[in-house]
Structure 1
Amino acid sequence: MIVDAHAHLLPKDYPADAPECFPSMEPIEGSKDRLLVFGQMRFPAKEVFFEAERRIEAMDAAGVDAEVLTPMPPLLRYDLDVADGLALARHVNEFTAGVVAHDPQRMHGLGMVPMQDPDAATAELKAVKDLGLRGVEIASNILGSSIGDEKFLPFFEEVERLGLSVFVHAMPSPNDRLPMSAMGTYVVGIEGVYAAASMILGGTAAKCPDLRISFSHAAGGLAMMLPRANYFWGGSWNEEPKNPERAVMPDDGPSPLEYARRFYYDSLVFDRRTLRYLIDLFGADRLLVGSDFPAMPREDPAARTLKSMDLPADQLDDIGWRNAYRWLGLEAPVPTA
C-alpha cells in the first residue's frame, strides 16, 4: 500500500459575494482547468486539483491507495484581515470536506485556520474536527514568527486535546534573504529547520508530548543540524553517553534528537541517499510518503525510489502507509493481497 501524505487541492470556485481579497478561479477557454488568481499569483490549476473523480483516477494511475489532502500553500494568507482569513479558511475547509466525502476511505482532508490570530485559529479547531477533517495545515512561519513561539502554544495544546494532526508546509518568510529563484528549493530547507527547531527550542515539543505533527520535505536541513545540537546538549558524538564536561548547553531533559523523533516527516527529498540517512537518524517509523501532487508530478509509479531501496518489509510498510495512519490518529486498514 501507498498513502501519499503530502498532496494538495484547490476549491473549484469562490462565492460571488466573497471579499475582494479572496482568490478567484477563472475558466480557461477550451479546458476544464481553471486559472487561480490570487493577488499577483496566476496559477493554471488542473482539473485534478478540484474534482474528486479526477483525483481517484490519478491515484489509480500512480498506484496510490489513499491521499492526505491539504490546501495549496498560497491559500495560507496570514496577511489577510482576521475576519477575511477566517471566511477563506471556512470556504476551503468546507470544500475539502466535500471532496473527501466522495471516498472517505481513500481521501483524508486537513483544513486551514487563520494563524495570524492565534485565538481565532484555536477556536476554529473544533469546527475543523466537526467537518470530519483530520487536522490542519499551517505554514512554517506566521508572518515571520516561528511556530514554536509561545503565543502559539495554546493552539497546539488544543490540537493535541482534540486529537487532530498538523502538517507544517515550508513557506517563505517576510524577511527572506535569498532571491525569488530559491523559493521552491533552498527556502524549503531553511524554513523546515526553523519550524521544527522552534518547536524543540520553544518548549512546545516538551509541553505537547502527544502532538502529531508532520513537516514537509523532511523539515529541510534539520537532520543535518541535529547531531550538532545533540553535541551541544550532551557533549558527545554519535549519540554516545552524555559527557557533561564537554556539553556547551547541558540539559537534563530529552535530547534534541529525542524530541525530533516525536515528529513525522514526509520523505519527499528526491534522493535515496538522503532517505537512508533519514531512516538511520529518525527511524523508519517517523517517515511518510509525500509527492506535492498535483503541484508537482509524482514519481512513476508513486514511491518508486522508496521501493527501490531493498528495505525490510516492515520498514517499507511503515513508510509506505502505516505511519500515515498513525500520524492521522486512525486505525490502519488491513491490506488486501
Structure 2
Amino acid sequence: MRIDVHNHLLPEPYVDLLLAWDTPVGLTRDGDRLYMVHRRSGTASVAAGNRFPVNEGFVDIDARLAWMDDHDVERTLVSVSTPNPLDETFTTEQSTRLIRAINDGYADLGSRYPDRVAGLGMLPLRDPEAAVTEVDRIADDLDLCGIALPTSINGEKLSQPDLEPVFDRVDDSGLTVFVHPHGNVLSDELGENESFLNSLLVFPTETTFQIVRLIYDGFFDRHDFDVVLSHMGGALLTLAGRVGRARSVIDDPDARPDRPVIEYVQDFYYDCISFHRPALRAAIDTVGVDHFVFGTDFPFDEEDTQTIVSDVEAVVPDDADRERIMRSTARDLFDI
C-alpha cells in the first residue's frame, strides 16, 4: 500500500465560500459543471474566461476512494493548490476565512475517513497573528497531519520579518511542512496556448528560485521543521552544486547560510514526481532514498500514477527502499 503525500482536494466549506463570493479568483458553476477561475493560468484559459473544469476527484469523495483503491493508495495527504486562498485579489479577512474553511473541511474529512484521508492545513500568512493561532489549531484542535506552505506569498519571501513568529510556532509544533508553489509573475509570461506550462514549468521554477533564496537568507538556519518539496524540488537537486559555489565566493565568513548549500538540500525531503528516470536516479544519489516520498498530483491532469510507480520500481531495485518511498517515510514524517 502507498501513502500519497502530494494530492489535492477542495473541501466543501471552501467550495461553498468561493461559490458565494464574486471574486476574480475562485470557483463558478455553469450548469452542473464546476470551474476554477484564475488570474494567472496562461492566455489560453483567459480566452475561455480564465477558467478550467474541476475534475470530480477534487470534490467527490467516492470518486477519490475509487481512484485510491485502483492505484493501491492507502491514504492521501490532501492540500489546496488552486484556487489559491492567499491570492492578493482576496482581502486579508477573506483569505483568513478561506483558509480556516479549508482546515475545518479537512478536519471533518479526516474524522469521517480516518484511515483514508489526512489533511495538510494551510496558514493565513497575510495575517501573521492569525497564522500563529492557526498553527495551534492545526496541531492541537483539528488533528491535521501537517502544514501546506506556499513557496512565496504574492511574490514576497516566507522569510519576511513579520512571519518569524509564525515559523517559530511551526518549529514548536513538530509538524512537517509540505511546500507547493502557486501561479506567479512567471505565469504572466506564458503566451497563447501555453497555459499547460504553468504547472509543468513555472511551478518547479518557482520552487527552485524561492527555496534557494530562503537558504541564502538563513531561513533554514533559524527554523528546523521538516520540509517536503513538491515536484521533486524543481531543479534544486540538479543545481545544488552550482548554487553552492556562490557561497565560496562570498567574502564574508559570517554571511548566511551557515552551512554548505548541499547540506540543506540533503536535509529536505522530496516527492518522486519527475517522469524522467535518470533525473530520479541522480536525485536519489544526491540525497538518499530515505528522503523521498510518494506523490501523484491527483486529480490534476498532470497526474500519471502508473508512470510514477513504474519509474520508482525501475530506479529503486531494493524492496525495503521502495517501501520507504511508497509508505514508511511519509508515515514517520507526518505521524500517521
Question: C-alpha separation between the residues in 2 aligned to 1:223 and 1:8?
Answer: 24
TM-score between both structures, scaled by the size of structure 2: 0.84
Question: C-alpha separation between the residues in 2 aligned to 1:193 and 1:55?
Answer: 30
Report the structure, 1 or 2, having the larger helix content: 2
Question: C-alpha separation between the residues in 2 aligned to 1:324 and 1:304?
Answer: 19
Asked whether 1:275 is paired with 2:277, we answer: no
Partner of 1:157: 168
Asked whether 1:77 is paired with 2:86, we answer: yes
> Unaligned regions of 5+ residues in structure 2, if any?
40-48
Asked whether 1:223 is paired with 2:228, we answer: no
Q: Residue deviations 1:244-294, cap 9 Å, x none?
A: xxx555758421111122211111111111110110111111111111100
Question: C-alpha separation between the residues in 2 aligned to 1:310 and 1:174?
Answer: 37
Work out whether residues 63 and 301 of structure 1, in 8 Å CA contact, stay in contact via their aligned partners in 2: no
Aligned length: 314
% identical equivalent positions: 25
The residue type equivalent to 1:140 in the other structure is T
Question: SS where residue 167 of structure 1 aligns?
Answer: strand
Asked whether 1:304 is paired with 2:310, we answer: yes
Residues 271/175 of structure 1: CA separation in 2 closer, same or farther (3 Å cut): closer
Residues 249/306 of structure 1: CA separation in 2 closer, same or farther (3 Å cut): farther
* 1:227 Cα deviation from its structure 2 partner: 0.8
Question: C-alpha separation between the residues in 2 aligned to 1:111 and 1:96?
Answer: 8
Give 1:110-129 correspondences, 5 Å limit.
110-129=120-139
Asked whether 1:100 is paired with 2:117, we answer: no
Match of 1:20 among 19, 22, 36: 22
* 1:229 Cα deviation from its structure 2 partner: 2.9
Question: SS where residue 74 of structure 1 aligns?
Answer: coil
* 1:310 Cα deviation from its structure 2 partner: 4.2
Partner of 1:89: 99
Asked whether 1:190 is paired with 2:205, we answer: yes
Asked whether 1:49 is paired with 2:53, we answer: no
* 1:27 Cα deviation from its structure 2 partner: 6.5
Asked whether 1:136 is paired with 2:147, we answer: yes
Work out whether residues 123 and 131 of structure 2, in 8 Å CA contact, stay in contact via their aligned partners in 1: yes
Match of 1:109 among 96, 100, 119: 119
> Unaligned regions of 5+ residues in structure 1, if any?
235-246, 332-337
* 1:313 Cα deviation from its structure 2 partner: 2.4
Residues 264/249 of structure 1: CA separation in 2 closer, same or farther (3 Å cut): farther
Pick which of 189-198 and 146-155 moved more: 146-155
Question: C-alpha separation between the residues in 2 aligned to 1:291 and 1:3?
Answer: 10
The residue type equivalent to 2:170 in the other structure is V
Match of 1:256 among 253, 261, 280: 261
Question: C-alpha separation between the residues in 2 aligned to 1:318 and 1:303?
Answer: 13
Question: SS where residue 146 of structure 1 aligns?
Answer: coil
* 1:322 Cα deviation from its structure 2 partner: 1.6
Higher relative contact order (CA 8 A, sep 6+): 2
Q: Residue deviations 1:169-224, cap 9 Å, x none?
A: 12232365732523222212321112221231121211112x02211112211112
Work out whether residues 223 and 278 of structure 1, in 8 Å CA contact, stay in contact via their aligned partners in 2: yes
TM-score between both structures, scaled by the size of structure 1: 0.83
Partner of 1:145: 156
Partner of 1:4: 4
